[in-house]
Structure 1
Amino acid sequence: MVSFNKFLASVFLAVAYASSSIAAPRPAHSKFATHRARVVGRGLQVEAFHPPSTFQTFGEGIDHPLSKRTESTMEDSAVAFVGSQLKVDFNTIAVRSGFSGEAAKHVFLRQSHDSIPFANAVANVAFNHDDKVVAFGSSFVTPNSIASSSPAIPLEAAIATAEAALGGKFNQHPATLEYFVKQDGSVALTHVMQIQDGEAGIWFEAFVDAHSGELLSVTDFVAKASYQVLPIQKEMLTQGFEVLTDPQDMTASPAGWHNTGTTSATSTSTTAGNNAIAFKGTQSSVTTQSSNGLNFIFTQDPTQAPTVAANVDAARVNAFYLVNSIHDLTYKYGFTEAAFNFQQNNFGKGGAQNDRVTISVQSSAGIDNADFSTPPDGQSGAMRMFLWDFTSPMRDGALENDIVVHENTHGVTNRMTGGGTGRCLQTTEAGGMGEGWSDAMADWTEHNSSAVPDFVLGAYVENKASGIRTHPYSTNATVNPLRYSSIATLNEVHNIGEVWANMLHNVYAALVAAHGWSATARTDPTGPEGNIVFLHLFIDALALQPCNPTFVNARDAWIQADVNRYGGANKCILWNAFASRGLGVNAANFVDSSAVPAGC
């Protein structure tokens, strides 16, 4: 085992070497699509590398090599298509996961060597229901060298190295052996393990070179009955609590919110169930029903500290209600068991189970923030809600609906992009869009009419009308001037996310203006109204886009999602909305384009 100091020096050398292979000078944003720099553990800076993704969409679809074989599976067809497109040996393509959705079928694949998968060289293929390929993303590589598939460093030593660097402990999730593509074109063999410290908010996937013992990269999984609650369309408690009776959607949660199976023996009378568990401190510290019949009626008193018993109960109940509501809402629009959602019991409908969302309210691990950790399908998503100290008494983030919805949406976007791995929104640009999708979902949930007012996030917790973002989200370019080109001067994921969220705010406004607004969109996704169309495209595009997408990739995925589900009926609405904020046809490298396709 190397000493920590020696290890630290080796990692800094590795990072410096990786950085030096990029020709200088180049603007910092040139690496947004392939890199993410993080300070981890004891002040160690690690710059993770992800090979650039290519992404193609094919409108009504093109044939694949097995199109004429009626007996071929979508997995076989995807392997054949990737092999033919990239001219690689079929034996080096490994299927990781896949699912069939309403509008398209999806297969997620990895490059392999000696039957060992590549961690960061991945591909995804989408088929329409006519068995034609409609989208293809890839970060497959042609290595200039590849390490031996027999590790020289034992797993135990690699775990010790990762623990020392990252400040957590190996969480016993099964470690794997995977290849990892480095920026210089070489491929290292790595031990891959999860390092976690729940109290400190640490949850990393570490890639330790199985020959040299160096930490090469990390995946950060953290994206910093009747109930008296704030209905999901309300933003903050000043708008008033209500008692909602049986808000669960039984088509999305067939056993209800308080059952982890199908019998009374698996029922609970607490803030714990199949989709979520809300607690304070430990998972045994849940809120029990206030009266028989699954009634959770606890009155929050804003004049007292959030830590008094009634306020803790109100926070747990509200967070439990919201996470279940987002589960049911996103389920109706395609985030199902097979599409890698969060459930303890998947009822035989596909995907990995035992992964309900854990919600830690009033977490003592932080303040003035919230976060959500998204490990791979089969491990629980972890939400932590903190107190905010801008006021006296302090305010509770679990009682501001837009913050809870924002955090929960990280789980949706991280699971659906890349096929359930939790690894595919890790670059600076993709991570920024992750923040933007979360704000956009919070924005969507709070509309209560066809009006599209400016949207402000986080106004309650800071007691500030302007909220926690630099601008309100607005269709007015004077109120919010952010454009695609704004990213060139930004370097932080939340700031980059504001650009994407504001674009989606404008897309939403355009679709509602064209098609109207449905008051039942949360429970009925079948209508033609603009808010329904928006959320379908939001969810559909996540599975279409490549691992670590760029703004341009994500825009193209929305355009293709519209072809898949609506026959391209909204093509010009979408293009004009994106182009109005600089993401037109010729947008690239954070240079604006207002161009739209001919006919728009």
Structure 2
Amino acid sequence: MSCGHIFLIFSAFLSVGRTLANHPSQYRRHEIYSRSDTPAFYVDAYHPTPLHETYGLGIDHPLSKRTGATLADSAVAFLRSKTGIDVNVTHVHASYEGSHSDYAYVTQYHEGVPIANAVANVAFNKAGQVIALGSSFVQTTNAASTVPSVTIAEAITTAESMLDGTYDEAHLPAPTLSFLARPDGSLALAHTFYVRNATALTWYEAFVDAHTGELLSVNNFVAEAVYRALPITEQVLTQGFEDIVDPQDPIASPIGWHNDGRSTYNTTVGNNGMSFKTIQANTTVESGPNLTFIFPQNPALDPTVQTNLDAARVNGFYIVNVVHDYSYRYGFTETAFNFQWDNFGLGGSGNDRVEVIVQYQGLNNALFTTLPDGINGFMYLFLWDYTNPERDGTLENDIIVHENTHGITNRMTGGGTATCLQTLEAGGLGEGWSDMMAEWTEQTSAVITDYVIGPYVTNSTAGIRTYPYSTNATINPLKYSSVATLNEVHKIGEVWANMLHNVYAALVGAHGFSQEAFTNPSGSEGNIVFLHLFIDALPIQPCNPTFVAARNAWIQADVTRYDGANKCILWDAFASRGLGLNAANYTDDFTVPTGC
């Protein structure tokens, strides 16, 4: 589906996020499209506003003195002490142990049925103390009957018609029943299942009222070899292709990039990802023995000619694998719900590498569909028609990194469900993280330069964002208060990305720059510190975080990993853009804690 020149680029979601009055963060209005791209109707997806608290060096929980208390039991006990919810109506749906923190993700139940939008997360330090809590648990005094009045067949028919897709019984999980917390405090019983339109690139989790048949809500899911590719540190092909020898990281990819635990390939297929055009069989085969993938790209020719198509598939495969490897080093591992076909028995759900579909039908866009752990991620990369010949988005690295990052942030926020960046504000944060991750890969020294997204495909030094990301408020004036005037995820994302640009610049200014950050995350340099905090903060924040919650997660991540050594650096940077100590409700505050 083409979005023309509206610049709905790099979206994790196909639909356009619209706002309710003052866009309260608990809502995301999903605009549902028909095949003709005519807006058909809206679905107001409600998410209870989460409680989010961080606890610095850590506090005890009710089971702190109990020998042998499990992570799950400790999390549930702490949640009960904070929310009053009975432990018998909760279920720990995921947990994992990180390098500096441990995490548990909990779903609330009522009469044996999960409440889909009532979730919680608890983070612990390695001493077993609680360092963060997020909870959208609700009261359950006004709940519908657990016995459906509407059949699942009727519900599927309704959802397929309204969402212009299909429920594929052979390839999608079986429908379930769940409750949905509603804005009026009630609980609606819903038939819950996936509806997909492979042509329009939509993929929804649908919630159809099991008593009225109404579509109540949706979760929208829509980030020894030689490769001639654009090095990860380069943005666009005009910087020059290189023949990159054995780039795989033996720690992150122990069986290499062309083995998925079942088979060995001499094509753009492997454990972490695969790159193809239209159908999985259309991959690129090695150009020479021993996994040599050298296909000269000719910018004077159309992107679809064979050598250019092969160059694109190789570059897409290379970048997705590099992102897998360095993000693995920083904590996006099997237990943290990453994308791999074979998880080597290390936890998490396998069979979910990233599928990179290059030169997809349509123009001027890129998309990433993040589904729950255990289901593939899908990256769709388009051609761009701002020039003649057209340009291929697969040959601009910031596009690929941006999209891949949607997979990281959607998986690590909320415990692998891919459903916890659904509100307008949280979706905006997702766009900001993706832009900033692309920038992180392309800053090459301690000299911090302004950063622009999308200059190659648009043939414009201004790129596709409103302003360059900059520490100079004259060049980029966006502040926290800007969010109040914005009702689109990419525009909101610009505010967050520019804040993170300022955080990055401050950390590099204080600690210097490491040229080994991609493969050695043990250094103390500022770019290494930044990416650790970036990744560490994701599982600390609540489901559907706000700017304030996301900031607090960064502050807490620094306490947990670095004993708060960067507290004032972080606060100064956030406060410089209005997200200071007392910032709330999109009102700027420039104050910092005492001592900073």
Contact 1:433 1:497 in 2 (8 A): yes
1:437 to 427, 433, 454: 433
Q: Match for residue 177 of structure 2? A: 177
Instruction: Report the alpha carbon displacement of residue 184 of structure 1 after superposing the two structures with TM.
Output: 1.0
Which residue, out of 548, 556, 569, partners 1:552?
Answer: 548
In structure 2, what is the equivalent of residue 307 of structure 1? 304
Matched residue of 1:146: which SS?
coil
CA deviations on 1:530-570 (whole Å, 9 max, x unpaired) are 00000000000000000000000000000000000000000
- Counterpart CA distance in 1 for 2:347 and 2:21 is 39
Q: Are the aligned partners of 1:123 and 1:139 in contact in 2 as well (CA < 8 Å)?
A: yes
Which has the larger displacement, 560-569 or 189-198?
189-198
1:316-373 Cα offsets, whole Å, 9 max, x none, are 0000000000000100000000000000000000001100001100001x21000000
Determine if contact 1:83/1:93 at 8 Å carries over to the other structure: no
Deviations 1:383-415 (A, max 9, x none): 000000010000000000000000000000000
Correspondence for 1:374? 370
Q: How far does residue 256 in structure 1 lie from its aligned partner after superposition?
A: 0.4
- 1:160: Cα distance to partner? 1.1
Q: 2:557 aligns with which of 561, 564, 578?
A: 561
Alpha-carbon distance between aligned partners in 1 of 2:297 and 2:503, rounded to the nearest angstrom: 37
Tell me, yes or no, if the aligned pair for 2:20 and 2:29 is still in contact at 8 Å. no
Which residue number in structure 2 is paired with residue 31 of structure 1?
A: 23
Aligned ranges 1:195-274 → 2 under 5 Å = 195-222=195-222, 225-261=225-261, 266-274=263-271
What is aligned with 2:492? 496
Distance 1:123 1:574 in 2: 26
Aligned partner of 2:453: which letter?
L
Residues 271 and 188 of structure 1, relative CA distance in 2, 3 Å threshold: same
Partner of residue 362 from structure 1, selected from 359, 362, 365: 359
User: What do the CA deviations read for 1:151-202 (whole angstroms, capped 9, x no partner)?
Assistant: 2212121111110000111133222211111111111111111111222111
Alignment partner of 1:96 out of 73, 77, 93:
93
| Secondary structure of 2:44 counterpart | strand
Q: Give me the whole-angstrom Cα distance separating, in 1, the residues matched to 2:477 and 2:465.
A: 13
Q: Deviations over 1:205-240 (max 9, x none)?
A: 1011111111000011018x1100000000000000
Q: What is aligned with 1:578?
A: 574
Contact 1:41 1:165 in 2 (8 A): no
- Deviating beyond 2 angstroms after TM superposition, the runs of 4 or more aligned structure 1 residues are 27-32
Task: Note the C-alpha offset of 1:28.
Answer: 4.7
1:130 paired residue number: 127
Give 1:31 shift.
3.1
Residues 331 and 535 in structure 2, CA contact (< 8 A), matched pair in contact too: yes
Q: Could you report, residue by residue, the CA deviation over 1:130-171 in whole angstroms, capped at 9, with x for unpaired residues?
A: 000000000011144101112221212111111000011113
SS at match of 2:72: helix
Partner secondary structure for residue 112 of structure 1: strand
- Secondary structure of 1:325's aligned partner: helix
On the 8 A contact 1:29/1:491 being kept in 2, the answer is: no
| Deviation for aligned residue 1:423 | 0.3
The correspondence of residues 444-523 of structure 1 with structure 2, limited to 5 A, is 444-523=440-519
- State the shift of 1:426 in Å: 0.3
Q: Retained in 2: the 8 A contact 1:29–1:488? A: no
* C-alpha distance in 2 between matches for 1:215 and 1:150: 18
Contact 1:374 1:422 in 2 (8 A): yes
Shift of 1:470: 0.4
Alignment partner, residue 162 of structure 1: 159
Q: 2 CA distance for matches of 1:329 and 1:76?
A: 33
> Which of the numbers 38, 48, 52 marks the counterpart of 1:51?
48
Residue 584 of structure 2 is aligned with which of 574, 579, 588? 588
Higher relative contact order (CA 8 A, sep 6+): 2
When the two chains are superposed, the root-mean-square deviation of aligned CA atoms in Å is 1.1
| Residue 54 of structure 1: how far off its partner (Å) | 1.0
Task: Give yes or no for the alignment of 1:399 onto 2:366.
Answer: no
Give distance in 2, aligned partners of 1:436 and 1:88: 34
**Aligned 8 A contact 1:30 1:589 in 2:** no
Equivalent residues of 2:383, 2:392 under 8 A apart: yes
Letter in 1 for 2:399: I
How many residue pairs align between the two structures? Answer: 570
**Paired residue secondary structure (1:170):** coil
Output the CA distance in 2 between the equivalents of 1:221 and 1:203.
6
- Alignment partner, residue 40 of structure 1: 32
Task: Specify the alignment match of 1:282 in structure 2.
Answer: 279
- Alignment-derived partner of residue 328 in structure 1: 325
SS of equivalent to 1:56: strand
Task: Give the 3-state SS of the residue equivalent to 1:495 in structure 2.
Answer: helix
Q: Deviations over 1:287-328 (max 9, x none)?
A: 000011000000111000000000100000000000000000
The CA distance in 2 between the partners of 1:191 and 1:277, in whole Å, is 34
- What is the letter of the counterpart of residue 235 of structure 2? E
In the alignment, the residues of structure 2 paired with residue 140 and residue 28 of structure 1 have an alpha-carbon distance, to the nearest angstrom, of: 23
- Taking structure 1 as the reference length, what is the TM-score of the superposition? 0.94
What is the Cα deviation at residue 29 of structure 1? 6.0
Partner of 1:350: 347
SS of the equivalent of 2:359 reads coil
| 2:536 paired with 1:540 | yes
* Residues in 1 aligned to 2:88 and 2:210: alpha-carbon distance in whole angstroms: 23
| Native 8 Å contact 2:110 2:140 kept in 1 | no
Name the SS of the counterpart of 1:249 in structure 2. coil
Segments of structure 1 that go 5 or more residues without pairing to the other structure are 1-18, 20-26
Are the counterparts in 1 of residues 23 and 487 from structure 2 also a CA contact under 8 Å? no
User: How far, CA to CA, are the matches of 1:431 and 1:144 in structure 2?
Assistant: 31
Give 2:381's match in structure 1, choosing from 358, 361, 385: 385
1-structure distance, mates of 2:528, 2:163:
43
User: Cα distance, 1:514 vs. partner?
Assistant: 0.5
- Name the residue aligned to 2:188: 188
Percent identity, please: 59
Say yes or no: does 1:139 pair with 2:136.
yes
Q: Distance in 2 between matches of 1:312 and 1:29?
A: 46
Cα deviation 1:30-54 (Å, max 9, x = unaligned): 3341111121143111111100011
Q: 1:79 to 1:396 in 2, by over 3 A?
A: same
Greater mean alpha carbon deviation, residues 331-340 or residues 150-159 = 150-159
Q: What are the superposed Cα offsets for residues 495-515 of structure 1, whole Å, 9 maximum, x if unpaired? A: 000000000000000000000
Higher mean C-alpha displacement, 342-351 vs 169-178: 169-178
> Residue type of the partner of 2:188?
A
Q: Which of 307, 314, 317 is matched with 1:317 structurally? A: 314
Structure 1 distance, partners of 2:150, 2:327, is: 43
Aligned to 2:4: none
The AA in structure 2 aligned to 1:304 is L
Which amino acid counterpart does residue 202 of structure 1 have in structure 2? T
Is the 2:426–2:544 contact (alpha carbons within 8 Å) kept by the matching residues of 1? Answer: yes
Letter in 1 for 2:168: N
1:84 to 81, 86, 91: 81
Give the 3-state SS of the residue equivalent to 2:76 in structure 1: helix
* Whole-Å separation in 1 of the counterparts to 2:257 and 2:67: 41
TM-score (norm 2): 0.95
